[in-house]
Amino acid sequence: MGNNEWMLIAVVVIAILLGISIMAALQGKKSPKKNGRASQNRTKRGTINRASTRCREDEAILSSKLEDLTGVEFERLLALYFRDQGYGVTEVGVGGSDGGVDLVITDRRGEKTAVQAKCYASHHKVPVQTVRELVGAKRNHDCILSLLVTTSDLTGPAKKEAEQFKVDYWHGALIEHKLRSWGKWNPGKRTSKKSRQEIETAKAEWKKGSKESAATALKTCTCGSPMVRRKSKQGQAFWGCSTYPKCRHTQSI
């Protein structure tokens, strides 16, 4: 072969080797990106997006733990609970903008309560702004009373605001106790030791409060529960049932 032929062969070989190197480099860049997406998907699958509008059938909701529910499903669970307690329930904010109110519950006397539901992780506490929104929004639904239900708890300022504006609130351990006492909510897995302790603490606090109020007030409601001393918005004292809002019976002092 002549020199020109050898040079041509060398150029071809170099071009082939260069092409192989470029392809290998491109493959190396694609692999980590693919693995990264897979890892991200696994994270998404393992975490409940509470802001999702997903709402499964009632049977699935009633057998799910609170931490496995979306915000919409938690609202639906509360609607089922209140209906079984004898309330008329209007699902205001389910699946859309609630404006501060998710449910409007009406007792047998026609008295309305605005309910705001917050399905949060235990470390995510309800801020004071949520309480203020509920106080303002209840008037839009002709509600006299308001109730904030959360799977976590309220911040210190939020609790003070709730007490100031007479907003009742149920925190995580208390709402779980009420749902279990209801009997229709049966989450598939057993409650953790920590959750059981919180529930027992909530029970003990409720019983202690009932005994103290009974000893102090010496008043018994028509439903058999002790009555406690309360104040109206006008500052007038009256006796109210300790199981409120389940029982709304009142007596003058």
CATH number at residue 158: 3.40.1350.10
- Six-digit token pair at 169? 């609130």
Of 8, 165, 190, give the one whose Cα is nearest residue 100.
165
Task: Assign 252 a pLDDT band (cuts: 50, 70, 90).
Answer: confident
Instruction: Give pLDDT tens digits for 149-190.
Output: 999 999 999 999 999 999 999 998 999 999 999 999 999 755
Q: Whole-prediction pTM value?
A: 0.57
Q: Is residue 241 part of a domain?
A: no
Q: Is residue 98 part of a domain?
A: yes
Alpha helices in the chain (DSSP H): 3-46, 58-62, 71-84, 128-137, 156-164, 172-182, 193-217
Q: Is residue 128 part of a domain?
A: yes
For strands 168-170 and 227-231, give the pairing. unpaired
Of residues 201 and 127, more confidence is placed in 127
- pLDDT at res. 207: 59
8 A C-beta contact, residue 226 and residue 214? yes
Residue 59 corresponds to which amino acid?
E
Q: Is residue 209 part of a domain?
A: no
8 A C-beta contact, residue 147 and residue 168? yes
* pLDDT, average across residues 46-52: 62
Give me the domain span that covers residue 111. Answer: 58-189
- Cα separation, 101 vs 113, in Å, equals 10
CA angle 78, 84, 86 (to 5 degrees): 110
- pLDDT at res. 40: 38
Q: Is residue 62 part of a domain?
A: yes
Of 174, 105, 175, give the one whose Cα is nearest residue 138.
105
- pLDDT at res. 213: 44
Total number of domains in the chain = 1
Q: Is residue 11 part of a domain?
A: no
* pLDDT, average across residues 236-240: 79
Instruction: Give pLDDT tens digits for 10-23.
Output: 767 777 777 777 77
8 A C-beta contact, residue 101 and residue 137? yes
Give me the half-sphere count of Cα atoms (radius 13 Å) on the Cβ side of residue 9: 6
* pLDDT, average across residues 203-228: 60
